Structure 1
Amino acid sequence: MADTPRKLTRADWAKNADSWAGHFEGKTLGTDVTVLFVEIEEAGKGARLHTHPYDEVFIVREGRARYTIGDQEIEAGAGDVLLAPAEVPHKFVNLGPGRLVSTDIHLSPEWIQTDLE
């Protein structure tokens, strides 16, 4: 089965038909990568402090954000790529103006998250 192509439609992963926000778990496709499509419209909003038992890669596609990864604060904009190592607490907030759009890659077949806030 690992050598069989698979397809998900937008209805399989998107929050709604008009948005790129949503996610799919890798196990749905038989792979070890889970992908989140993040869209945050409002400045000051984002993800609360949390950890994962695997690495997470953030690809900022549009907008600006402040990422807190461990004890470092990193401002990132469109085209920047960041890594949150496994078990390192992290969070982010949309700095605005405008929306934040990112693709977040979880190096795991399923989304596992421990919220700290």
Structure 2
Amino acid sequence: MADMTFDLTHGLKVGESVNLEVGLRELTSGDYIDAQLAAEKVIVQDGKAICYTSDVLYGLELLVRQVEYIGKVKGPISVKELRKLHQDDFTMLQVKASELDQMIAEALAERGRS
């Protein structure tokens, strides 16, 4: 069950079909852990291995995990599928994910006040 649904303007094309409806869900602790691990890169600098986490990749990894579905495409989607979106749809997906996160934060704050 999605926590938020909306339609993309251009959609995600898979084969001949264009998928418009998006379902977003609340992230779990596991999602945060998996996104962190996926965003880590090991680089060698001055002969020493250093673990580096890309904030951009971390944000993208969270976003793809938050997508429950886009039409018939079940989530989590991949960053590769995310790249196929029109820039307007990508922006809308980011905005809606932020709105969902804000609604969840407000609901938690309300629970703390009662």
Higher relative contact order (CA 8 A, sep 6+): 1
Q: Pick the structure with more strand per residue.
A: 1
TM-score, shorter chain, exceeding 0.5: no
TM-score interval, smaller chain: under 0.3
Name whichever structure is richer in helix by fraction: 2
